[in-house]
Amino acid sequence: MADERFFTRTGPYTLRQLAAIGGAALGAEADADRELHDVAPLESAGPHDLGFLDNPRYLRALADSRVGACVLRPGHADRAPPGMALLLSRQPYRSYALMAQAFYPTPPVQPEIHPTAVVDASAQIGPDCEVGPGAVIAALAEVGARCRIGANAVIGRAVRLGADCMIGAGTVVSHCLMGDRVILHPGVRVGQDGFGFAPDRERHVKVPQIGRVIIEDDVEIGANSTVDRGAGPDTVIGRGSQIDNLVHIGHNVRLGRGCILAGQVGISGSTQLGDYAVVGGQAGFAGHLRIGVGATIAAKSGVTKDVPEGETWGGFPAVPIREFRRQSALLLRAGRGKGSIDD
């Protein structure tokens, strides 16, 4: 059970309610009126808990579990112990996530502008916003309804936030237009100058960075990540993209919809990622590349060329993943002292 100091649980919910929330079907043995009180991992769950099985690696945990009900794929139903209540879904993790959101909803915004917040008279704050202590909202900024601006966050001049955005404590945003339901975790930096200058031994000459950052709806950006504004064109983070902590996004970069970037990824200026691209941790991209729709980049890769749609690449310089696997196999054999690469 989650620590009550930090989390507020709702419920209980009947299996019928949970099935509806998560888009799941009740299994044959499930009593639709049975109430569950919490979520828990299969190993530690008790008869009042909801659990889930997605990765088949955990089938053994399923067999031994005392969970009250389990969300799983129809194809795994026969692996559950007799009598276990099942909630059947083709996307069990997604269904479980929706049910878990019901038990642990995002804490409601507490509409208040804290008296120590500094909100410029020309800024427009929508209804029911929560603006924390020491937060600063500069001139001409527009904040949509029900936004939460964390303590000591800074929203720069003329920045626009849509509705239901959550800006973490200490986060700084400038030169940015943001959609609805955007989450910026603590310490995110959006909108500062890109790394643009004409190199010169006497003195590097800064090139004015006159683009913006456009963050579309439902984007989430992790703690201490940085998104530079465009040099002339805009930097764009496409709808629903998920960005982890300590990620660096250079000027003019464009992410499509639903991209996923793991921690400490770096994207150099003007590179574009197509919709649904997925990038593993600590990968880096040279500038001016085109990464295709649905491409996957392995962790720690260094991408120096365009990557076609739907392909998976890895290594440095990054190559199609089957080539990277052969490269790794060569190195692994060499490491074990085994003959030549012709083996």
Q: Which of 25, 48, 158, 290 binds a copy of itself (CB under 8 A)?
A: 158
Beta carbon nearer to a copy of itself, 29 or 105: 105
Annotated catalytic residue: which of 114, 175, 251, 288?
Answer: 251
Residues that bind a copy of itself (rule: CB under 8 A) add up to a total of 114
Residue 251 falls in the annotated catalytic set: yes
Q: Which of 12, 46, 126, 186 binds a copy of itself (CB under 8 A)?
A: 186
Instruction: Give least dist CB 29 to a copy of itself, A.
Output: 25
What is the 3-class SS of the chain, one letter each residue? CCCCCCCCCCCCEEHHHHHHHHCCEECCCCCCCCEECEECCCCCCCCCEEEECCCHHHHHHHHHCCCCEEEECHHHHHHCCCCCEEEECCCHHHHHHHHHHHHCCCCCCCCEECCCCEECCCCEECCCCEECCCCEECCCCEECCCCEECCCCEECCCCEECCCCEECCCCEECCEEECCCCEECCCCEECCCCCCEECCCCCCEECCCCCCEEECCCCEECCCCEECCCCCCCEEECCCCEECCCCEECCCCEECCCCEECCCCEECCCCEECCCCEECCCCEECCCCEECCCCEECCCCEECCCECCCCEEECCCCEEHHHHHHHHHHHHHHHCCCCCCCC
Q: Which of 70, 175, 236, 277 binds a copy of itself (CB under 8 A)?
A: 175
Site for a copy of itself in 218-237 (CB under 8 A): 218, 220, 222-224, 226, 228, 232-233
Site for a copy of itself in 252-311 (CB under 8 A): 258, 260, 262-264, 266, 268, 276, 281-282, 284, 286, 299-300, 302
Site for a copy of itself in 52-81 (CB under 8 A): none
Window contacting a copy of itself (CB under 8 A); options: 10-18, 24-32, 62-70, 145-153: 145-153
Beta carbon nearer to a copy of itself, 28 or 74: 74
Contact status: 103 vs a copy of itself (CB under 8 A): yes
Q: Which of 134, 145, 309, 311 binds a copy of itself (CB under 8 A)?
A: 134
Contact status: 244 vs a copy of itself (CB under 8 A): yes
Contact status: 162 vs a copy of itself (CB under 8 A): no
Instruction: Give least dist CB 147 to a copy of itself, A.
Output: 17
Site for a copy of itself in 302-321 (CB under 8 A): 302, 315-317, 319
| Six token digits for residue 297 | 């980049």
Q: How many residues does the chain have?
A: 343
Binding mask 9-48 vs a copy of itself (x if CB under 8 A, - otherwise)? ------------------------------xxx-------
Catalytic amino acids? 251
